[in-house]
Structure 1
Amino acid sequence: MGLTNQTAAADFLLLGLSSDPELQPVMFGLFLSIYLITVIGNMFIILAIHSDSHLHTPMYFFISNLSLTDICTSTTTIPKMLVSIQERNLSITFAGCLTQACFAMLFASLECCLLAAMAYDRYVAICYPLRYTVIMSWRLCSLLVLFSLISSTVNALLLSLTVLWLSFCKDLEIPHFFCEITQVINIACSDTFINNLLIYIAGLTFGGITFSGIIFSYTEIVSSVLKIQSVQGRYKAFSTCGSHLSVISLFYGTGLGVCISSAVTDSPRITAAASVMYTVVTQMLNPFIYSLRNKDMKEALRKLIGRIPSIL
């Protein structure tokens, strides 16, 4: 089998979730609906936070950044999939594939960092309530988001650019609905040890360290809440963390599910289907979690929706 380097590589083929022609219209309608719900739902969250001065706090600042990240994550993967189904064309250029992989890693890493920053915010709010406004200043919040964005970008660029070292066989089929970096590396014919090593390091850094930070924050939160004498006080403290805990459980739970499915099955299609949960479904559900479990957010959304007719 012949080899080709990155400069001469032919188009990759994204095989998608199913090759059954009868399922393509169903998948197109389903993913188009998911994408529209994701974009509209997260846009409403961002606009509601921006328009209501009561929500101009660090917690909602992080939520609005998370919503923007969710929009970007879905936009990175779903539109290309919809175009491929509509045009019945599975091909994607090498540059397009590498760009998609880079942005997918960037926003996944950024989401991990934002969830950790939000956990720290809840930790300070519950464990140090009297010093909350001093510690969680707008300067610190902006720096946390900026650091998350810069570190995620550097990570994504490093992992993507190292793919340029690889040579590829003539068989360039990717059994996935988007260019996931490990799937791209798997079809390379040259040595991928460095690439895989960097991916493991990045996984430990953005997955392991951020998750450890979340665990530490909530361990301290639970310890502080248990010291509160009144049941009502405990409930109020825990209720401020409910939405965040739900999002964390959904994001990391689905990510763990993908890892488990990859370990127990040799079918790339099953792994691709499992990946839908943390790259598509999670981003769609996040706005509902924050709006349905948050009284202030529901009130802000009600006011925003009420102003729409006058704007139109």
Structure 2
Amino acid sequence: MTAVLPVRLLTLPEHYDLAGTLSGLAVIRNDPTVRVTAREAWWVTRTPDGPGTLQLVRAGGTLAARAYGAGADWLLEQADAIAGLRDDLDGFAAVAGRHELVRQLARRHRGLRMPTSGLVFHHLVPAILGQKVTYQEAFRSYRALLRHFGEPAPGMPDMTLPPEPASIAGTPYYLFHPFGVEQRRADTLRRAADRAAALERATDAADAVRRLVSLSGIGPWTAAEVVRASHGDPDAVSVGDYHLPNFVAWALAGEPRADDRRMLELLEPFSGHRGRVCRLILAAGITAPKYGPRSPIRSFARY
């Protein structure tokens, strides 16, 4: 007899955007640990209780959460946070009203929420892989790393669990080369894996950032990419991003190019929700005019 899985029913706010919200769990676009459609989402991870898979299915104004594996109970308990339903939007309408475009974006994407996974290391691995490389390079490396270290997810065998910290910590740096990862990022991954337990004990986003940037090889960009997903931090801005300052400056001031200082200056009126404003700009597909040649896609696997 097939066991009946427990279901947790979550009440959804009006205009809730399941696909847009759950995509916030993916530090790298097309993250293989996340699968989303307008009506259904799957997320596979390693919880404090063990591997688990969370399934979210939308039916009208209700979201049905089911979970599989040793981490099922933990995932069900956190399901509302993972679905972005603990995201506090109080006061954001007033903040958004300080700029006409932001006001319009906030209304157009009013169903978008900031998910909170409650897990740091899950998001830290793709964030480190995304340091100073193109999206294509980062995605290729992450997919290769998952194939090597991962294992089939419970209840969803065609999805792959992220690697265990101990597996990464115990792997020599040169074995990461076939994944397209050079020594600098490989060593950062290994250091982070060695400190994974301490990172998971962070009490809030600010504490998580402090713990992250204390590790050699992790700076503000990586920390912001992580805490936006792990803690649902609406104020996290990815300082040091290659494209983001230009996108923000073009959206908010009509300026095609900007540095981090100018980006932060333009975002200051939205303090407390600066990361949310950046996400709205990205969700709207707003980009700056392109000049010059594209960055080449490299492969460290050949070196």
TM-score (norm 1): 0.31
Structure richer in strand, relative to its length: 2
Greater C-alpha radius of gyration: 1
Larger helix fraction of residues: 1
With a CA cutoff of 8 Å and minimum separation of 6, indicate the structure with the bigger relative contact order. 1
The TM-score with structure 2 as length reference comes to: 0.31
